[in-house]
Structure 1
């Protein structure tokens, strides 16, 4: 039987509860969309997936298949079980917010991943104490030998997916990043929807 596909609309966020052992498959439907991804301990929202702690655990900035993704308490919360893309996911750049877009020259309020996190959690009656730095799925940020960063386009193709399996009861939040001022969502700078399905 085909798994049910759920939509994350372009520029919006969704929160999904996972029981320990359950998995979520996140699908890059059109192949050029960055998905800011957070995960919180369902029993304690002050414990969350932390990129800073992940760097020390992996001794790398690029998680790969089989890697445990850890919290600010240095405990596994998700495992990157499967990745059909070239495996370039950013763990360095903070979630976009209204201040980021103002610095890029946007005079009006702009959809952003920080607000998407808050609104997605509010829809399920939750609130995050902070906006942690996310796992930016498919965001391609090459880092040069001098430490400089490049805002690259995603390297994945339509239909590429990652599977994340829960190591504890948790809440995963996905934001189809609304960045349309630099080409992290492809050269067209056009955010698109993504899909996800739940696995046993």
Structure 2
């Protein structure tokens, strides 16, 4: 049974429990919004979707439709079941945090994905020891032949979506990235809301 469409507000985070076999559809409503995404074993938060371990499993850095997304214990936790976007998602860059914004010249508190992760888990009365590197849905980080990266704009279109299906009971956390100082959320540097729903 499909749930009603839910809003993930711009600059905020949300945690959702998925039972084994359930899925979540995450929709890039306006086409330009990056969504930092984490997944934790519901029974043991010390096991989580790990980008470092995923690189070894994929032998690459861009997950594609049908790929298993693996944990720090090298087993699947989610399957990327659908992806209507061009498929450019980042697995290299850490979640933004207060230190990142300070390095960009921000002198006051700035909403950030690291704090959004912890706040979202806190709403479920859970706590992660640290902030793992996220799967940055729709974040476009081109990697040159020399290994250098650039901060690209998303290639996704309004309404593009992914479906992530749970291999085990898990907790998915999403953050509509608040980055508004470089154009990873589009040239306008204007974070927007996205939508999601649960699927059986």
TM-score calculated relative to the size of structure 2? 0.99
- Using the TM superposition, give the Cα deviation of residue 130 of structure 1 relative to its aligned residue in structure 2, in angstroms: 1.1
* Per-residue Cα deviation, 1:124-174 (whole angstroms, up to 9, x for no partner): 111111100000000000000111111000000000000000000000000
Q: CA 1:93–1:122 in 2, change beyond 3 Å: closer, same or farther?
A: same
Contact 2:2 2:198 in 1 (8 A): no
The residue number in structure 2 matching 1:26 is: 26
Distance 1:72 1:107 in 2: 35
RMSD between superposed Cα atoms in Å: 0.9
Alignment of 1:135-174 (within 5 A): 135-174=135-174
1:1-200 equivalences in 2 (<5 Å)? 3-200=3-200
Structure 2 gap segments, 5+ residues each? none
Q: 1:22 to 1:2 in 2, by over 3 A?
A: closer
Partner of 2:141, secondary structure, is coil
Which whole-Å deviations, capped at 9, do the CAs of 1:25-63 have from their partners, x for residues lacking one? 000000000000000000000000000000000001000
Q: Secondary structure at the match of 2:38?
A: strand
Equivalent-residue separation in structure 2 for 1:130 and 1:48 (angstroms) = 11
TM-score for the superposition, normalised by structure 1: 0.99
1:95 alignment partner, SS class: coil
Matched position secondary structure for 2:175:
strand
Q: Which runs of 4+ in 1 moved over 4 A?
A: none
Deviation at 1:2, TM superposition (A): 7.2
Distance 1:42 1:174 in 2: 15
Question: How many Å apart are 1:106 and its aligned residue?
Answer: 0.2
